[in-house]
């Protein structure tokens, strides 16, 4: 597990960009943290690191899923904030279908609303603690498919 203290929004963005270098198709990035923790900013960093125009990256709070065709892969940005936690959250956004080809990267905000880990080749948990002007503690941990239940 990797843990970093990000003292500014720029550092949160840069950490997301550095994660992009390690992502591969079939990955699901599970972002957890409170309202205002910086999940969308972290996603913008990931998308910037994947070569996508970050001005086009917006939170899918109301659309639930945004699709981005980045140079490295198709990326689905999912936001489960408006959905009740549990089994229905995954089905509501068609998470299994987004991951079934293994050709996409899926970034999931409010992943704690899922009832378990999605069927990805690799799940990367990103937990963000802190909000507002306070420093954020960001922990990143990857789980390969054989360890995913």
pLDDT tens for each residue of 93-132: 778 888 888 889 999 999 998 887 888 889 999 999 998 7
Position 81 confidence tier, pLDDT thresholds 50, 70, 90: confident
- Asked if residue 1 lies in contact with residue 31, where contact means CB atoms within 8 angstroms, the answer is no
The model carries a pTM of: 0.90
The pLDDT assigned to 135 comes to: 94
Query: Using CA atoms, how far apart are residues 72 and 1, in angstroms rounded to an integer?
Result: 25
Query: Using CA atoms, how far apart are residues 11 and 141, in angstroms rounded to an integer?
Result: 18
> Among 3.40.50.300, 1.10.3300.10, 3.90.1150.10, 3.40.109.10, what is the CATH number of 6-114+130-147?
3.40.50.300
Q: Which of helix, strand or coil describes residue 21? A: coil
Cβ atoms < 10 Å from Cβ of 90: 21
Torsion 31-19-104-56 (CA) sign: positive
The pLDDT assigned to 60 comes to: 86
């Amino acid at each position: 597990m990797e843990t970093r203290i990000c003292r500014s929004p720029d550092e949160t963005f840069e950490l997301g960009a550095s994660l992009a270098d390690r992502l591969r198709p079939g990955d699901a990035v599970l972002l957890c943290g409170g309202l205002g923790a910086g999940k969308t900013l972290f996603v913008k960093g990931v998308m910037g690191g994947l070569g996508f125009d970050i001005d086009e990256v917006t939170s899918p709070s109301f659309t639930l899923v945004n699709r981005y065709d980045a140079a490295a892969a198709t990326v689905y940005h999912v936001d489960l904030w408006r959905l009740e936690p549990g089994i229905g959250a995954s089905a509501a956004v068609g998470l299994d279908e987004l991951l079934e080809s293994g050709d996409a990267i899926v970034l999931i905000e409010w992943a704690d609303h899922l009832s378990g880990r999605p069927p990805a080749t690799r799940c990367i948990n990103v937990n963000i603690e802190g909000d507002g002007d306070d420093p954020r503690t960001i922990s990143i941990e990857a789980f390969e498919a054989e360890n995913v239940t």
